[in-house]
Amino acid sequence: DAKTTQPTSMDCAEGRAANLPCNHSTISGNEYVYWYRQIHSQGPQYIIHGLKNNETNEMASLIITEDRKSSTLILPHATLRDTAVYYCIVRVAIGAGGGADGLTFGKGTHLIIQP
Amino acid sequence: DVKVTQSSRYLVKRTGEKVFLECVQDMDHENMFWYRQDPGLGLRLIYFSYDVKMKEKGDIPEGYSVSREKKERFSLILESASTNQTSMYLCASSPTRPGANVLTFGAGSRLTVL
């Protein structure tokens, strides 16, 4: 799997857009970028994923650079409930056995939303 | 609305006890996973299963076994619990292609081994 690099922590003011960067310079052509977050004392929560096109859903937007070596997760209007650790993961969509073979979670970015 | 249910939120066991952690999902997912999470080490994959009666070792399977007799249920077994297995255990499930890496996690089971 391609390794990812994320800042250890970030602050963002409530109501502003939170932009979380992720570097994945060794990403392969068939690897997707996945984003998860983990709010304190809860299990991780899937946010969004993409291959090469920008993606948007009800939670966030994902911007992937044209060379696919980095991406940015955007929370358009951050709230206090968005305070969490955000994980950027790069993985092929299908494992060797035809199903999933597990995701590797790194240290992530601790996003703190300030009131 | 709970989709992945872990049987116990908190457990306290003694060294040497056999421990069962149960996980049930109601989304008809083919894939199920067990992770443990420790401060400073992040989430680490213990075992996963992509079908009934199938199991695959993750990154840290030593000291654990699993059972998947029914599609909706994936059990993690600690044959003889040790203090270094004190941890938060997280179960997850996902559908098969193309969403195999879109995992839904349970709330976690915090195990303390004395």
Q: Give me chain A's average pLDDT, please.
A: 91
pLDDT of residue B96: 80
Burial class of residue A36, CB neighbours in 10 A (0-12, 13-18, 19+): buried
Q: pLDDT grade, residue A86 (50/70/90)?
A: very high
Whether B92 sits inside 8 A of A42 (CB atoms) is: no
Handedness of CA B29, B32, B36, B40 (dihedral sign): negative
pLDDT of residue B80: 96
H-type helices in A1-115, by residue range? Answer: none
pLDDT of residue B23: 97
Q: pLDDT grade, residue A53 (50/70/90)?
A: confident
Q: Phi/psi at B84 (nearest 5 deg)?
A: -75, 0
The amino acid present at A97, given as its one-letter code, is G
The pLDDT of A7-32, averaged and rounded, is: 95
pLDDT of residue A94: 65
Q: Phi/psi at A20 (nearest 5 deg)?
A: -105, 120
The pLDDT of A46-66, averaged and rounded, is: 95
Spell out which residues of chain A touch residue B59, defining contact as CB-CB under 8 Å. Answer: 104
The residue ranges of chain B whose pLDDT is under 70 are 1-2, 98-100
Residues B35 and B92: beta-carbon distance below 8 Å: yes
DSSP, collapsed to helix, strand or coil, labels residue A80 as helix
Q: Residue B48: which of A43, A91, A102 has the nearest Cβ?
A: A102
Whether A93 sits inside 8 A of B100 (CB atoms) is: yes
Residues A71 and A87: beta-carbon distance below 8 Å: no
pLDDT surpasses 90 at A41: no
Spell out which residues of chain A touch residue B33, defining contact as CB-CB under 8 Å. Answer: 100, 102
Higher-pLDDT residue of A12 and B40 is A12
* Cα A35 to Cα B101: distance, rounded to the nearest angstrom: 10
Spell out which residues of chain B touch residue A99, defining contact as CB-CB under 8 Å. Answer: 30-31, 50-51, 96-97, 100
pLDDT surpasses 70 at A1: no
A104 contact B CB<8A? yes
In this structure, of A14-23, A51-60, A100-109, B32-41, the range with the lowest mean pLDDT score is: A100-109
Q: What Rg value do the Cα atoms of chain A yield, rounded?
A: 14
Spell out which residues of chain A touch residue B51, defining contact as CB-CB under 8 Å. Answer: 99
pLDDT of residue A97: 55
A101: left (phi over 0), alpha (psi -120 to 50) or beta: alpha
Per-residue pLDDT tens for A72-84?
Answer: 999 999 999 999 9
Whether B42 sits inside 8 A of A106 (CB atoms) is: yes
B28: left (phi over 0), alpha (psi -120 to 50) or beta: left
C-alpha torsion B35→B38→B39→B42, nearest 10: -30
Whether B101 sits inside 8 A of A49 (CB atoms) is: yes
pLDDT surpasses 60 at A96: no
Among A22, A44, A76, CA closest to B90: A44
